Amino acid sequence: MNRKTIWVGVASLLFLAIVASGTVLLIRPANFRGTTFGEPYPVAPEIGLTRSDGSRFTLSEMQGRVVLLFFGYTSCPDVCPTTLAELKTALDGLGEGKADQVNVLFVTVDPERDTPEQVQEYVEHFSSTFIGLSGSLSELEKVWEEYGVFREIVEGESAAGYIVNHTARVTVIDQQGNMRISFGFDTPVEDIIHDLKLLLK
């Protein structure tokens, strides 16, 4: 083999490598950064709760829109405000055209203290587009159970009365009403923006 042949060989291999990696990048499926639900995607269980104006809210109203679902309570000083502020930042990062297709739902884990009005007032401190929901204990227990929400009332930790320890994970429901992604508390806002952009494509 002379030198020329070797060079042609190397060049062809390089060319093939570039083409191959390009193809892999092009056909690679969308990669979410959050925790994904496998296919077939689980259908998000129906939610029937009360809005601040007393009207009934159902999750099926949200068909065609992306829903970010979070469970918390209005006396929560740290994790709930942090999550809601991050979701607001994420929506701002999507830009107007896309953020309009997303709803944030905040469902209380503390119906004893959180009326629908209080929950709505609380979430509106973060964004006027957020929806706060409460309901009767039995209605909520059904929702918590179906979404696997842990909830525990702890007395005596604070002058604020009891504390509610709870699941701090955001569930993303797609336009077809399927559960697609969930974000743990420490998820960077950039990752949430990234995943929502992919879902809204």
| Residues at the site binding other proteins, with contacts judged by CB under 8 A | 74-79, 81-82, 85-86, 89, 121-122, 125, 150, 152, 154, 157-160, 163, 165-169, 184-186, 189
User: Hey, what amino acid is at 181?
Assistant: I
Provide the minimum distance between the beta carbon of 152 and other proteins in the complex, in angstroms, as a whole number: 8
Q: Which is nearer to other proteins, 62 or 91 (CB)?
A: 91
Rounded to a whole number of angstroms, the minimum distance from the CB of residue 150 to other proteins is 5
Nearest to other proteins of 48, 93 (CB atom): 93
Least CB distance from residue 28 to other proteins, whole Å?
29
**CA 198-22-94 angle, 5° bins:** 20
Amino acid, single-letter form, for residue 46: E
Looking at beta carbons only, is 169 or 180 nearer to other proteins? 169
Q: Which residues are within 8 A (CB) of 84 and not within 5 positions of it... i.e. 6 or more apart?
A: 70, 72, 104, 106, 123, 126, 127, 130
Residue 86 beta carbon to other proteins: minimum distance, rounded to whole angstroms? 7
Cβ-in-10-Å burial (0-12, 13-18, 19+) of 24 comes to exposed
Pairing of strands 102-108, 66-72: parallel
**Distance from C-alpha of 166 to C-alpha of 71, rounded to nearest angstrom:** 8
Residue closer to other proteins, measured from CB, 48 or 191? 191
Q: What is the DSSP letter of 37?
A: P
Please report how close the Cβ of residue 77 comes to other proteins at its closest, in angstroms: 4
In the complex with other proteins, which residue's Cβ is closer, 6 or 160? 160
